[in-house]
Amino acid sequence: MNINNIKKINIYKKKILIRLDLNVPMNKNKITSYERINSSLKTIKFALKNKSKIIILSHLGRPTEGLFEKKYSLLPIVNYLKQKFPNVIIHFKKNINKKYKINYGEILIFENVRFNIGEKNNDKILSKKYASLCEVFIIDAFGTAHRKEASTYGVGIFSKISCAGFLFMSEIKSLKKCIKNPKLPLVTILGGSKISTKFNILKKLCKISDTVIVGGGIANTFLAIKNNIGKSIYEENFINLAKKLKKKYNIIIPIDSKVKQTNIKKIKYIIKKSSEIKNNEEIMDIGTQSIKKIKKIIKKAKTIIWNGPVGVFESKEFRNGTKKIAYAISNNKNSFSIAGGGDTLAVIEMFNIKNNISYISTGGGAFLEFIEGKKLPVIKMLKKKYIKK
């Protein structure tokens, strides 16, 4: 791929602007997963080694543009980075419009870019403002590559030199490995609540996979083709499309489910055949027979693509299916496994299987759109800025 990368661009004693994806899960202003931050450290360390003046931009959550909201502040992340780089001076500033002095080997982090008016609609003035901050722009936020925003796309267009960081390049390399020349059989696990948001990627994955295993609300829509699914989440408008896919491709749906009964004083959780669900029951997880079947398929896989849990894993009562599948993937030492998406990262951290997954993608939407074959705006920008050697 013809794009500039950080190793081939001279950043020694240069003023560089790095766009990172520090959009980590938070609970009461405390970080609950450090995966995305830790994945970004290699690029920061390389820039420090090159004695650069480092400016960092990132988003966090979905605040109202132009309005400061404490719960979306990058301050907890800045404090974590100070712990990781105790010997480095790290400045933290809110106002992007003021001039700040920064020395070589120091880091300046600006507050959440989504507080800035014009960020989301790729405002030209804001993009130029970002670009004026640096001599070299480095995009290392693959999770935002599908968004055409001021701090991801516009800044790259107006910067003199734009290149990809280590994480960004690693993401592209690993994703290509999965979709270009994968070792077979290729097994995909696709979870999530809505088939509508993942239908196009589901079609693409069906074409390249030997087997596609569906879970969550996506599986419920497939189950609804022939079964009553009670109060379970599903999308009626997609039943016919799901039916066509099921007929054409090898799609595995749950043969039994763990359901919640809701018309009794004391809520009960029972496992029953997916074909025997009653009106007062709601599917919350896959059942034991489904788990056994899926584990056998995963054991034989040579390439695994995993996006999303197969049940309501946030609750102890309904995480067994996701847990067993996660362990099955991590225990397959003969496969190349790639996992992506916010919930998937949370599952990996919950069950402590990070070291047994071949590659963990920090992207959610970008991860899926890349596999789907869409041309991501940030990659298009990098191609435009490519410098032929």
* Cα Rg, the chain, nearest whole Å: 23
CA–CA separation, 321 and 286 (whole Å): 5
Digit-coded pLDDT (tens) for 67-93:
999 999 999 999 999 999 999 999 999
pLDDT tens per residue across span 237-255:
999 999 999 999 999 999 9
Examine residue 185 and say whether the peptide bond preceding it is cis (omega within 30 degrees of 0): yes
Alpha helices in the chain (DSSP H): 35-49, 75-84, 124-131, 155-158, 166-179, 199-208, 216-223, 239-248, 288-300, 320-331, 342-350, 365-372, 377-384
Average pLDDT over residues 182-196: 91
Mean pLDDT of 339-367: 88
Given pLDDT bands bounded at 50, 70 and 90, which one contains residue 264? low
Query: Which segment of 71-75, 190-194, 306-310, 335-339 scores lowest on mean pLDDT?
Result: 190-194
Question: What is the separation of C-alpha 115 from the centre of its chain, rounded to a whole number of angstroms?
Answer: 22
| Sign of the alpha-carbon dihedral angle for 40, 46, 49, 52 | negative
Q: What pLDDT was estimated at residue 194? A: 83
Q: What is the pLDDT of residue 198?
A: 87
Separation between Cα atoms, residue 119 and residue 128, nearest integer Å: 12
- Alpha carbon distance 176, 173 (integer Å): 5
Q: How far is CA 109 from CA 18, 171, 192, 237, 310, in A?
A: 10, 24, 34, 45, 37
- List, for residues 142-174, the tens digit of each pLDDT value: 989 999 999 999 999 999 999 999 999 999 998
Please give the pLDDT value at position 193.
83
What is the percent of the chain with per-residue pLDDT over 70, rounded to a whole number?
A: 98
CA distance 146 to 166: 18
* Per-residue confidence (pLDDT) for residue 64, from 0 to 100: 94
What is the 3 state secondary structure string of 334-389?
A: CCEEEEECHHHHHHHHHCCCHHHCCEEECCCHHHHHHHHCCCCHHHHHHHHCCCCC
Mean pLDDT, all residues of the chain: 93
CA distance readout (Å), 300 to 207, 329, 333, 339 = 19, 10, 10, 18
pLDDT of the residue at 368: 84
Q: Quick one: pLDDT band at residue 388, thresholds 50, 70, 90?
A: confident
- The token pair at 64 is 């109202």
Q: Which residue has the tokens 């074959």?
A: 373
The mean pLDDT value for 286-298 works out to 97
List active site positions: 36, 194, 342, 365
